[in-house]
Chain A
Amino acid sequence: MTTHLPAKHAETGGGRDLKKADEAALLDLLETLEHKHGFIPREISEELTRVIEVRLERLRRIQGKLDSTIRRDVKVHVARWREEEGNLIMILHAIQNQHGYVPREVAMELARELGVKLARIYEVITFYHYFRLQPPGAHSLTVCNGTACYLKGSADLLNESRSRLGVSEGQTTADRQFQLEVVRCIGCCGMAPAVVVDGQTHGRVKTSDIPGLIEAAKKQESKK
């Protein structure tokens, strides 16, 4: 399940990297055995195959369980909105509420459940800015960059947030604690510049407030 991997992998198309690493590990093992015995004795290769089979079987069972959980959850979301036409966006909201993003497996299951093409689902997910394809950080810091906030110094807030967190907008810190985002006007222009921390809007924010906002959020339980 590539989407549950740490961002490092997920963001670099990690599936392939992982396969390469596994292959290398296996080759290492075989080389060690060859080195030890001069060749790989039949008993050993059979034993190896057996161990791998057992492991794989267990993995398959876990995957199967996950699949059925996904299927059940998707069914619940779909049932909730079944009666409404044009429900796709509301279902996606429910899914993102549950997982923090829209995992690929879930999108695939949703396509099956609704009887529409996967592309139709991705067409919507990728158009709307609100839906995420990657798991979010535990906390989020969002700087409004609408015109009113810009006039009141949102660029400084963004720069400060970047340097405090060590990431750019759209990214999540390596420890997955914080994600930095930029949004368009969020309807708080009267108290510009505005910043949203874990869903809570703060107005008239000064650059010097940013470290405190980050620390306060870290002290709170993770938002999900």
Chain B
Amino acid sequence: MPAPVQRRILLAHIDEPGYTSDIDCYLRHGGYGVMKRAIARQPEELIDEVKKSGLRGRGGAGFSCGLKWTLVDRKSGKPVYLVVNADESEPGTFKDRHLIHQDPHQLIEGIMITCWANNVRQAYIYIRGEFPQGARILERAIQEAREHRFVGRNILGTAYSCDVFVHRGAGAYICGEETGLIESLEGKRPYPRIKPPYFPAVLGLYQCPTIVNNVETICHVKHIADMGGDAFARIGTPNNTGTRIYCVSGHVRRPGYYEFEVGRITLGQLLYEVCGGPRPGRTFKAVIPGGSSAKVLKFGERFRVKLREGSMAEWSVEDIPLDFDYLSACGTMGGSGGVIVMDDSVNMVEALANINAFYAHESCGQCTPCREGSLWMRKITTRMVHGGARAQDGELLQSVADQIAGRTVCAFGEACAWPTQSFVQKFGDEFRQYAETKKTAKPVTPLV
């Protein structure tokens, strides 16, 4: 089956010649029109639209956005904050950067609609420290929007006031985790908080109810307010509505970002047709479908999956539709939408050594299983690629990983255990072979 065509809603103007990040350009393209209409409606109606839309978070967990908004504690009398998660740090993910750099006003319009719907008076955009240019672009865009009275005091001449503030991170992956992010916003080390009781919807920023959503999620809100929740829900597949941006990197001929209806494209279509297939003379070996934390899929693997209508199907990797549910059914996840492709030139031990170096460096150190476990996994894979591989290293790695997952305050524990678990489980032979040949790799450089 030929791949569907891209459905560019969020990326409608991105990469369009002549389209700039200026507000004038945005206004010429009908910008802030949706917000004007939204502000004339009751906030509850907008929350209903988002609920009906079925929108699921694009930051990693795929949690229902409408449900998240309804969980907000509105009876406490405390202010409600919105925090936009622009910490985009998951290796293999690069959609938020483009949304911010090339169409910042789309994000700001989404933010203002979200704020109005949830009676938020202060919103924060938490952008990772390594995106100084993105921070400047956002600050300028907010200033422009303020001058046009889309942001700030008495928005569009109404009694409603709401400000947006850009907060820069400072180079720590854990700040992407929502409660770590909140700690960081408070000016502290980003040690994630334990849930319960610290659900952001109840006890978030400064102990006030807080909504944390990903950049892409918030951009979708604008289009939901525009077309209505029902229309949005008709895009994509049931329970996996709308479009999403897939970021493809690694060994394909045409890496890049592509927007498709969720679940209407399979991994095979994306990699072979959209991205041009493997490089000449190569074949695909493995793919990580949702950012480096997602479990790896091995080409040649078979999956027995229960379809939505109830019947069973047997799939290969190429057949898996890219949505939240079917990827989970195949033992991995849609995660952040970062699709990392590896061809037969890749040695899986070495690739895992690189991933382990990342997680060991980024563990915040709060929980012992994660701090020590990620460190030991790095030590083992580093030793392996430096000529010291042993026959039982695969099992050893597996046992360390098994003792991290599920035993930590935040999901970083799973994020660092899953790569190791899946690499060893699916490519166990390669780990054993490595010990036999004692092949010394190109040095894999741990992060400093």
Query: Is B170 touching A84 in the complex (CB atoms < 8 A)?
Result: no
B372 to chain A minimum Cβ distance, whole angstroms, is 18
User: If A129-B172, A148-B92, A184-B358 touch, does A189 touch B338 (CB 8 Å cutoff)?
Assistant: yes
Residues of B within 8 A of A87 (CB): 187
C-alpha spacing A127/B251, complex, angstroms: 34
Name the contact of B92 in the complex, choosing from A129, A147, A156 (C-beta under 8 A).
Answer: A147
A84/B165 in contact, CB under 8 A: yes
Find out whether the CB atom of A151 lies under 8 angstroms from the CB atom of B189.
Answer: no
Q: CB of B64 within 8 A of chain A?
A: no
Among the 9-residue stretches B29-37, B129-137, B315-323, the one with 4 or more Cβ atoms under 8 Å from chain A is: B129-137
- Which among B83-91, B324-332, B388-396 touches the partner chain? B83-91
Which residues on B sit within 8 Å (CB–CB) of A205?
Answer: none
Instruction: Determine if B250 and A152 form an interchain contact, defined as CB atoms under 8 angstroms apart.
Output: yes
Partner of A90, one of B89, B97, B167, B444: B167
With an 8 A cutoff between CB atoms, is B113 at the interface? no
- Give the most central of A87, A93, A123, A131: most B CB within 10 Å: A93
Query: A151 with B351: in contact, given A158-B445, A189-B92 (CB under 8 Å)?
Result: yes
CB-CB contacts of B267-298 with A at 8 A, as 1s and 0s? 00000000000000000000010001000000
- Chain B residue numbers with a CB within 8 Å of A89 are 167-170, 184, 187
Judge if B186 is at the interface, Cβ distance under 8 Å. Answer: yes
The B405-448 residues at the A interface (CB cut-off 8 A) are 442-445, 447-448
A180–B248 alpha-carbon span in the complex (Å): 28
Residue B354, interface by CB 8 Å: yes
Interface bracket on B: 35 or more
Q: Chain B contacts of A191 at CB under 8 A?
A: 255
Chain A neighbourhood of B342, CB < 8 A: 151
Structural contact, A184 and B91, CB atoms closer than 8 A: yes
Please, which residues of chain B bring their CB within 8 A of the CB of A85? 186-187, 206
A185-213 to B contact mask, C-beta < 8 Å, 1/0: 11111111000000100000000000000
A127 to B88, CA, bound (A): 19
Q: Which chain B residues border A93 with CB–CB below 8 Å?
A: 129, 168, 170
Is A86 touching B186 in the complex (CB atoms < 8 A)?
Answer: yes
Binary B-proximity of A40-68 (CB < 8 A = 1, otherwise 0): 00000000000000000000000000000
* A6→B134 CA distance, assembly (Å): 33
Q: How many A-B residue pairs have CB under 8 A?
A: 147
B94 at the interface (CB under 8 A from A): yes
Which parts of A165-190 form the interface with B (CB within 8 Å)?
169-170, 181-190
Tell me the minimal C-beta distance from A155 to chain B in angstroms. Answer: 5
Chain B 164-207 near chain A by CB (<8 Å), digits 1 or 0 = 01011111110000000000111111100000000000000010
Q: Distance in Å from the Cβ of B191 to the closest Cβ of chain A?
A: 9
Judge if B161 is at the interface, Cβ distance under 8 Å.
no
Question: Contact: A148 with B168, CB < 8 Å?
Answer: no
Q: Are A147 and B292 in contact (CB under 8 A)?
A: yes
Tell me the bound Cα distance from A151 to B256 in angstroms: 15
* Chain A CB within 10 A, most for which of B91, B93, B342: B91
The reply to whether A86 and B187 contact each other, CB–CB distance below 8 Å, is: yes
Q: Is the CB of B189 within 8 A of A147?
A: no
Type the 1/0 row for A72-113, where 1 means its CB is closer than 8 Å to any CB of B. Answer: 000000000000111111101100000000000000000000
A126 to chain B, nearest CB (A): 9
B187 x A147 contact (CB < 8 A) = no
* Complex alpha-carbon distance, A129 and B172, angstroms: 6
Interface centre among A156, A183, A188, A189 (most CB of B within 10 A): A189
- Give the shortest distance, in Å, between B177 (CB) and chain A (any CB): 14
Contact with B along A131-175 (1 / 0, CB 8 A): 100000000000001111011100110110000000001100000
Q: How far is the CA of A187 from the CA of B250 in the complex (A)?
A: 13
A-B pairs, top 9 by smallest CB distance, nearest first, are: A130-B171, A128-B170, A129-B171, A189-B249, A148-B249, A88-B187, A86-B187, A130-B170, A185-B91
* Beyond A90-B168, A151-B342, A151-B346, 16 additional pairs, beta carbon < 8 A: A86-B185, A88-B188, A90-B167, A127-B189, A128-B169, A130-B129, A145-B357, A147-B91, A147-B92, A147-B292, A147-B340, A148-B340, A159-B442, A182-B448, A187-B88, A192-B250
Q: Which residues of A contact B (CB under 8 A)?
A: 84-90, 92-93, 123-124, 127-131, 145-148, 150-152, 155-156, 158-159, 169-170, 181-192, 199
Subset of 11 A-B contacts with CB under 8 Å: A86-B206, A93-B129, A127-B189, A145-B358, A145-B447, A147-B292, A148-B91, A158-B445, A184-B91, A184-B362, A190-B257
